[in-house]
């Protein structure tokens, strides 16, 4: 992959690109807002469900119905998008980026990149993304 290559990361396409305040009316949308704000804090389904005012299973069903993905998958996608942005825009080491966005290790970030057939983290340094 060259420096001029644009990365289009498909999994987040099903998530809303601009999230305004949901006011709690839509638990799935509110959950995505929370995950985008707190992805590095290792949010758990139980606490997020409590915050949006529904049962864990109800929230999982709402996320599946709205976005076709589970809580865990959405959290991984949000973290991965943040990691891709940081890798492209900063000079931080891959390990630092991985930990900063909430992955347990550089290996966890690499494993997720492989799942989506993206290059290894070192090759993503300085590569711009198309939004």
In terms of pLDDT, which residue wins out, 88 or 15? 88
Q: Is residue 69 part of a domain?
A: yes
Q: What is the pLDDT of residues 68-103, one digit of tens each?
A: 999 999 999 999 999 988 988 888 899 999 999 999
Whether 129 is covered by a domain: the verdict is no
46 contacts 85 by C-beta, under 8 angstroms: no
Please name which of 49, 100, 106 lies closest in space to residue 79, comparing C-alpha atoms. Answer: 100
Domain holding 63, by residue range, is 15-124
Question: How many domains does the chain divide into?
Answer: 1
* pTM given for the model: 0.77
Note the pLDDT tens digit of each residue in 45-63.
Answer: 999 999 999 999 999 999 9
Give the domain CATH number at 118: 1.10.10.60
Pick the range with the lowest mean pLDDT from 3-7, 13-17, 72-76, 122-126. Answer: 3-7
């Amino acid at each position: 992959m060259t420096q001029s290559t644009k990365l289009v990361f498909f999994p987040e396409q099903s998530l809303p690109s601009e999230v305004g305040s949901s006011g709690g009316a839509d638990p799935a949308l509110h959950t995505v807002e929370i995950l985008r704000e707190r992805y590095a804090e290792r949010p758990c389904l139980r606490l997020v469900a409590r915050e949006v005012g529904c049962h864990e299973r109800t929230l999982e069903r709402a996320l599946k119905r709205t976005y076709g993905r589970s809580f865990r998958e959405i959290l991984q996608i949000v973290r991965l998008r943040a990691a891709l942005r940081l890798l492209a825009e900063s000079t931080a080491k891959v390990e630092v980026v991985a930990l900063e966005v909430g992955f347990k290790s550089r290996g966890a970030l690499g494993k997720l990149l492989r799942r989506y057939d993206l290059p290894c983290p070192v090759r993503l340094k300085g590569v711009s993304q198309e939004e």
